[in-house]
Amino acid sequence: MDSIDEIRVSTSMVHILDDFLIIEKSKEDAISKLKAFINLCEDLGYPYQQKKTELPSQTMDFVGITLDVIKQEARRTVFENSPSCSTQTVLSSTSNPATELLEYVTILANAALAPSTQATYSRAWKTFDSFCTEIMNQSLQPPISVATISLFIAYMFKKSYAPSTISTYLSAIAYVHKMMSMPDNTRSFLVEKLVTGTYRLSKTFDSRLPITIPILNKLLHSITLVIKCTYDQVLFKAIFLFAFSTFSRVGELVTTKNAPNDNVLLLHDVSLSYVQGKAAEVQVCFRKFKHNVRGMPKTISFSHGTAMESAVVAMVEYLKVRPYSVPT
């Protein structure tokens, strides 16, 4: 069966629930593939219906692809309206359990990607759209060929995209193809070697160093040399030691005035343990963090540490001078 399928039906056919979607560049190619599929079903004795069953009208925006089960079309939306997946249902007088479950399919698909990842993938597809407009002079729909992906890599490299960004944008293309059960051409040998080439030829490198105890001590020593305000000195000492002890990201500790602060640690997320009346340990409860798929909070504890300053003492000193309310 698999060998017959490969010969007679192209991989541009996608199976969604009880529907088969044929994705081709032209109507003539789609009709040709449809006829090949019908002939295959007849040869194998599989029953099929040429007409669409009367069900509620349903379209689904699914990781950048709009699926229309009434028009039997797949259109790429590239997250234009929203970074999340959604469904629009126009109910008829007949209810269908499969259509109701489709709502949950989109909810689960939406939850699979973090909002930040969705935003990144949105930028990736917008960049791909720009590539299609500037280089290909047409809008391309999945599946994307190896040749096109290769040109897209060259396009981004010429525009001085970082190799890590190129890899991330290819992941966005791969994600849509995998969710649509299409072949992932980003994993082809040629594409992988082109990505390797971007890393070898890139003139940029990551200047960020992993923070070690010696580097942390240098940061702590420099605070009094570059900061004159006593409160700011206490603040930076506490945040340096806190971030080092809890492996925190910057976005988990600080925020800007206009940025959302949903993921920032709050005062009640931090507690102290005392031994003989002295603070000995700090417990930090992280409620929201990257890759927290299940949404369960995690607690990290730290003690004084081995740096030139005690992480616990620095935290206690900051809490003593910290204002109870943030000025507006």
- Predicted pLDDT of residue 9: 47
CA dist., res. 118 & res. 106, Å (int): 14
What averages of pLDDT result for each successive group of 10 residues across the chain (328 residues)? 44 61 77 82 68 50 54 51 42 56 79 82 91 87 90 94 93 89 90 93 76 92 92 93 88 76 80 88 83 76 89 91 62
Compute the C-alpha angle 295/296/300, nearest 5°.
Answer: 125
CA dist., res. 237 & res. 124, Å (int): 38
72 vs 18, 87, 111, 251, CA distance in Å? 12, 16, 26, 43
Give all domains of the chain, ordered by start, each with its CATH number: 27-76 (no CATH), 113-201 (1.10.150.130), 213-321 (1.10.443.10)
> Given the DSSP bridges, would you call strands 19-22 and 73-76 parallel, antiparallel or unpaired?
unpaired
10 Å CB burial of residue 81 (0-12, 13-18, 19+) is: exposed
> Given the DSSP bridges, would you call strands 270-275 and 278-286 parallel, antiparallel or unpaired?
antiparallel
Compute the C-alpha angle 175/156/199, nearest 5°.
Answer: 85
**Cβ neighbours of residue 84 closer than 8 Å, sequence gap 6 or more:** 110, 115, 118
- Predicted pLDDT of residue 6: 44
